[in-house]
Structure 1
């Protein structure tokens, strides 16, 4: 076929899959022959030493060598080398059925740009998935993915999926490890791509060796990725909860102790409320800074609502709010010092004086944190590329000054 454009590339990442690679390629080629779809089988080899490359070529597959190790690195290189308009990717361990791709191709032809397989709807054979993956890992991570990003996919980590090659390449996927699959779905959802889901099956893989997947290590990498790509859930929402809790509790205790039944809430609870305000405000600041940084450098798509919010939060306005807070704190601190002086700098036993001092410290710390966060946020907003006013020759020592014509 040469370099002629094709409709479909069936892509398999490979690292020492000699036991199962041939049967996967045969199933994929059988599907192409049966369906009449113009396509190819592409193996993205990640440095196999068991003869997998020779097996692939002997069975008519095209091989692309990927020197950078990692599931994501192999798939990224395979997607870049694919000749098909559509790509269906899946593991080369014979756990997915490459002879039954009709639902994926039909959905792609209908205009869906990412088509996820759902193993829970299609059927998971006994022994195909460890119980902690089936009942804990996948359900929990899929729930968090749907909660954080409002994606339609219910099987967040299914490895068999199809997509429009140009649309996925336009997402700028970056990760090189197992979290590549999560990045693809998250960025596709955030970018507004048309995501669909079709049932697929999963059976025990045909390898005699242990799988490359490491449950807790790779599970943590997926969870970490979900959190890092959602500053709202990592920073903003927890920060808002802490700030609101601290303001409500602190406001209730500012006039004096509060009794609920036989329990009395006093200064110790007021200290906790002050800590919640400080930590909550800092967490909200991290959320705004993280969102600005991530969207600015292309990790997550830009948001018009968020950009409008940040346009209003200029450095000058943030500094003004910080100075107001610090002014309130300084005034309360001076009042507290005057009260201390009135007692000849002896022990401060009045709960009202202690409340004022706690309020002063909270306002001072919060204002100082807000000021530093404003400067840090502005640093991330510095333009990435600036047109140089002076060329290197213009600033060379001893160079004559250039005059305008």
Structure 2
């Protein structure tokens, strides 16, 4: 990986005080952690700042709103995204970044492989599978997961003009990337039991709301417009 490539890791955060120390310790040295506080009431922002992270506040609730605020705040060549709940290890991201920096691919996605009981509840896995199959029909991409761990070049991501600000954001990124002719690949990553309760897929109701949010994205047309 070229030594002059800069990297930011965007970490959307809503009440993740318990997980933040573990997550931030595992961000590779020399990379900037951008914690996007999406309305936490447990002191997450203060903890992240004390641990050396850049903290961005995004008052509009929504996973996509937090992710996009982090992307807009980034100044690095390559931007990574990772959940902030200790279910995914940001220490695995250098391999993703290397593939993008070397020009082998444009977007690397982490394919979650559950480790331990409760790491990936059945309802969440079923929802993810349904979306992966719909995505395959829409784009031809033979992906198995639409997980949140990923890496791509910042300017290219901005050019996708992503508009979803809810849980459809990760899917919209893949759909628009494919429509733009990007090379997309996935790499296996361990998926650990998260710290605390999931805000999106912790229940059947939450999972299927996320599926509905994301399925609407599959009818999305490539958009032009401001970042």
The reply to whether TM is greater than 0.5 is yes
2:199 to 195, 212, 229: 212
Are 1:161 and 2:153 matched, yes or no? no
1:97 to 89, 100, 110: 89
Tell me if structure 1 keeps the 8 A contact 2:7–2:77. yes
Q: How far apart are the structure 2 equivalents of 1:80 and 1:73?
A: 11
2:192 to 200, 203, 206: 203
2:127 matched residue in structure 1: 137
Q: Secondary structure at the match of 2:16?
A: coil
Q: Of Structure 1 and Structure 2, which has the larger fraction of its residues in strand?
A: 2
Aligned length: 217
Residue 228 of structure 1 and its aligned partner are, at CA, apart by: 5.4
Q: How far apart are the structure 1 equivalents of 2:9 and 2:34?
A: 6
Residue 176 of structure 1 and its aligned partner are, at CA, apart by: 1.1
Q: Of Structure 1 and Structure 2, which has the larger fraction of its residues in helix?
A: 1
Q: Secondary structure at the match of 2:127?
A: helix
Residue 218 of structure 1 and its aligned partner are, at CA, apart by: 4.2
Are 1:178 and 2:191 matched, yes or no? no
User: Which stretches in structure 2 are left out of the alignment for 5+ residues?
Assistant: none
Tell me if structure 1 keeps the 8 A contact 2:172–2:217. no
Q: Secondary structure at the match of 2:91?
A: coil
Q: How far apart are the structure 1 equivalents of 2:11 and 2:217?
A: 28
Tell me if structure 2 keeps the 8 A contact 1:146–1:154. no
Tell me if structure 1 keeps the 8 A contact 2:171–2:217. no
TM-score, structure 2 length as denominator?
0.88
2:11 matched residue in structure 1: 12
1:146–1:82 distance in 2 versus 1, CA, 3 Å? same
Residue 51 of structure 1 and its aligned partner are, at CA, apart by: 0.9
User: Which stretches in structure 1 are left out of the alignment for 5+ residues?
Assistant: 33-37, 231-298, 303-405
2:79 matched residue in structure 1: 87
Task: Quote the RMSD (CA, aligned, Å).
Answer: 1.9
1:292 matched residue in structure 2: none
For residues 247-396 of structure 1, the aligned pairs below 5 Å read 299-301=220-222
1:128 matched residue in structure 2: 119
Q: Secondary structure at the match of 2:131?
A: helix
Q: Greater Rg, structure 1 or structure 2?
A: 1
1:107 matched residue in structure 2: 99
2:136 matched residue in structure 1: 146
Q: Secondary structure at the match of 1:201?
A: strand
Q: Secondary structure at the match of 1:301?
A: coil
Question: Once the two structures are superposed, what CA deviation does each residue of 1:300-357 show, in whole Å capped at 9, x if it has no partner?
Answer: 228xxxxxxxxxxxxxxxxxxxxxxxxxxxxxxxxxxxxxxxxxxxxxxxxxxxxxxx
Q: How far apart are the structure 2 equivalents of 1:97 and 1:25?
A: 10
Question: Once the two structures are superposed, what CA deviation does each residue of 1:74-127 show, in whole Å capped at 9, x if it has no partner?
Answer: 11010000121111111111000112223212211222221101114xx54332
Q: How far apart are the structure 2 equivalents of 1:227 and 1:150?
A: 17
1:226 matched residue in structure 2: 215
Displaced runs of 4 or more, over 4 A: none
Tell me if structure 1 keeps the 8 A contact 2:20–2:48. yes
Q: How far apart are the structure 2 equivalents of 1:114 and 1:13?
A: 19
Tell me if structure 1 keeps the 8 A contact 2:97–2:152. no
**Structure with the larger RCO, 1 or 2 (CA within 8 Å, 6+ apart):** 2
Q: How far apart are the structure 1 equivalents of 2:38 and 2:52?
A: 19
Q: Secondary structure at the match of 1:147?
A: helix
Q: Secondary structure at the match of 2:87?
A: coil
